[in-house]
């Protein structure tokens, strides 16, 4: 089982997590299925939920697309993310 060091999620892993959450699996069960730590699963779930959904513990609303967007914001910062988004929208 992985440690408390955050991992880099791949698209397929995020999609699998989304399916497992929608099926009603617990984080503990997902941790065993995906062979990832509870810590990393929980961090990723938080990344893929709105603040309200996370606060209300609505894990089945996890979106792998939102998780990717939020990870990009974490890495680039909001200002650069918005700049890139504007550039993409122009084309």
In a domain, 74, yes or no: yes
Answer whether 62's CB lies under 8 Å from 21's CB: yes
Banded pLDDT at 3 (limits 50, 70, 90): low
**CB atoms inside a 10 Å sphere around CB 37:** 18
- Predicted local confidence at residue 91, as pLDDT: 85
Q: Give pLDDT tens digits for 4-53.
A: 777 899 999 999 999 999 999 999 999 999 999 999 999 999 999 999 99
In a domain, 1, yes or no: no
In a domain, 2, yes or no: no
In a domain, 79, yes or no: yes
- Predicted local confidence at residue 12, as pLDDT: 97
Q: Give pLDDT tens digits for 13-23.
A: 999 999 999 99
pTM for the predicted model, two decimal places: 0.86
In a domain, 6, yes or no: no
Range of the domain at 25: 11-90
For 2, phi then psi, to 5°, come to -70, 160
In a domain, 66, yes or no: yes
In a domain, 4, yes or no: no
In a domain, 54, yes or no: yes
Determine the length of the chain.
91
- The domain total for the chain is 1
């Amino acid at each position: 089982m992985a440690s408390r060091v955050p991992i880099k999620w791949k698209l397929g892993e995020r999609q699998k997590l989304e399916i497992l959450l929608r099926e009603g699996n617990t984080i503990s069960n997902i941790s065993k299925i995906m062979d990832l730590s509870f810590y990393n699963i929980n961090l990723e779930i938080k990344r893929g939920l709105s603040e309200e959904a996370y606060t209300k513990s609505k894990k089945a609303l996890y979106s792998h697309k939102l998780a990717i967007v939020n990870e990009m914001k974490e890495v680039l910062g909001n200002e650069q993310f918005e700049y890139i988004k504007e550039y993409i929208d122009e084309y």
